[in-house]
Amino acid sequence: MVTFENIANLRKYLYQARMEGKSIALVPTMGNLHEGHLQLVDQAQKVATLAVVSIFINPLQFGPGEDYKGYPRSFSQDQEKLRKRGCHILFSPQIENMYPETRISATVVKVPHLSHIHCGASRPGHFTGVATVVTKLFGIVQPDAAIFGLKDYQQFLVIKQATDDLCLPVKIIGSPIARTESGLAMSSRNGYLNATQKEKAAGLYRTLVKTQLAIENGNCDYDALSVKASRQLEQSGFQPDYFSICRQKDLQPATIKDRDVVILAAAYLGKARLIDNIRFTVNLTLPKYRHYDV
């Protein structure tokens, strides 16, 4: 594996690779890598000749009071994990490489209709920070494809929309959510959880599954289901941020007519803000107005 900090050196290397007919898949990350990230690397290796992983903790996507300063940094371990997994190229720029002089970006990429809802409502500016840094990474690496974990489903849609709208020739691929045995979605922020909280944390996924089952069993009162799920989370020690049953395509509230549904949730457990989701297709053959308890 080759590691680059410098944009010009990385570009030179990738230019040569492209000249040799090699294709490139990018996995953007903020480091502190876990098995979920490594599965993205596996996927990158399947779709392209070269897997490039970027590690960059992007200040632009953190709001005031968020965990930018304390965000877990584990560069040497990450490098070793990537090397063992067969990653070809690691790009780990310094802030000065990505945001010269000002440490911020004068030009930003905004995807308004997707960015102010759900996580965007609690984290104003977050998705602009994400879309901006990902667009910059696309400009630097010029990948044929880029792989993102579907745990951050809203982020996936924001990036897909920005890529389509800006006519960027990058195929955006979503990779299934990696979970621990308990069902907890893997996340770099799970490191903030203590042992007791870790046991409780899978409750978020269980609540999503229960709600999915209720919908599949014919309960179509989505508002009541969301309220009930939030209450259940609270009772299990979470501080819910939102719990929403939405359309997969645009994250607007789902109605009884919608088939492709995503249930999105975010909740605090101690210091950790956990997010998770479940996507599924509502079966049309079920009776419409049957109600079941979640």
Question: Would you tell me which residues interact with ligand PAF (CB under 6 A)?
Answer: 28-30, 58, 61, 130, 133-134, 152, 155
For residue 29, the minimal CB distance to ligand PAF (Å) is 5
Q: Which of 233, 228, 231, 242 is nearest to 154 (CA)?
A: 242
For residue 6, the minimal CB distance to ligand PAF (Å) is 19
**Concatenated DSSP letters of the chain:** -EEE--HHHHHHHHHHHHHTT--EEEEEE-S---HHHHHHHHHHHHHSSEEEEEE---GGG--TTSSTTTS---HHHHHHHHHHTT--EEE---HHHHSTTTSS-SS----HHHHSSTHHHHSTTHHHHHHHHHHHHHHHH--SEEEEEGGGHHHHHHHHHHHHHTT---EEEEEPPPB-TTSPBP-GGGGG--HHHHHHHTHHHHHHHHHHHHHHTT---HHHHHHHHHHHHHHTT-EEEEEEEEETTT-PBP-TT--EEEEEEEEEETTEEEEEEEEEE--TTS-TT-----
For ligand PAF, the closer CB: 33 or 246: 33
For residue 105, the minimal CB distance to ligand PAF (Å) is 12
CA distance 37 to 239: 27
Out of 37, 88, 118, 126, the active site residue is 37
Other beta carbons within 10 Å of 244:
21
For residue 134, the minimal CB distance to ligand PAF (Å) is 6
Q: Which residue is nearest to ligand PAF (CB)?
A: 28
> Is 37 designated active site?
yes
For ligand PAF, the closer CB: 114 or 233: 114
For ligand PAF, the closer CB: 140 or 229: 140
For ligand PAF, the closer CB: 75 or 237: 75
Q: Which of 37, 82, 54, 273 is nearest to 175 (CA)?
A: 37
CA distance 91 to 108: 21
For residue 222, the minimal CB distance to ligand PAF (Å) is 27
For ligand PAF, the closer CB: 90 or 133: 133
For ligand PAF, the closer CB: 133 or 202: 133
For residue 151, the minimal CB distance to ligand PAF (Å) is 9
Residues with catalytic roles = 37
